[in-house]
């Protein structure tokens, strides 16, 4: 009985090995990054006119928000640069005054 059980397991193992080796190799999926833009474009074109207007308004608002954020960052960087320049100038002025007493 033990031999019959072993034979069944061996046959099953051979069947599984045959399935593994005989199966066709998996094909890699198409690059999903290339198919996103046409998919979104087709989705947008399929929208009704009201939907297109809503998406366009939302896109413009998002773009303006992004531009505002970039300008805020640039303003912050220039402000820090001006503050650094003022501190540097004051420190040079104070150091020169301490090194060259006029009295």
CB of 44 closer than 8 Å to CB of 52: yes
Residue 32 has pLDDT above 70, yes or no: no
User: In which region does residue 61 sit, left (phi positive, over 0), alpha (psi from -120 to 50) or beta (all else)?
Assistant: alpha
Distance CA 45, CA 47 (A): 5
Q: Tell me how crowded residue 70 is: count the other CB atoms within 10 A of its CB.
A: 10
Model-level pTM?
Answer: 0.51
Per-residue pLDDT tens for 42-95?
A: 999 999 999 999 999 999 999 999 999 999 999 999 999 999 999 999 999 998
């Amino acid at each position: 009985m033990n031999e019959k059980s072993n034979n069944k397991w061996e046959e099953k193992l051979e069947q599984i090995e045959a399935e593994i080796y005989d199966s066709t190799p998996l094909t890699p999926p198409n690059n999903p990054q290339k198919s996103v833009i046409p998919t979104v474009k087709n989705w947008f074109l399929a929208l009704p006119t009201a939907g297109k207007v809503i998406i366009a308004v939302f896109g413009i608002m998002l773009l303006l928000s992004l531009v505002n954020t970039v300008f805020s960052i640039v303003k912050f960087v220039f402000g820090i640069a001006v503050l650094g320049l003022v501190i540097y100038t004051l420190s040079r002025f104070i150091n020169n005054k301490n090194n060259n007493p006029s009295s």
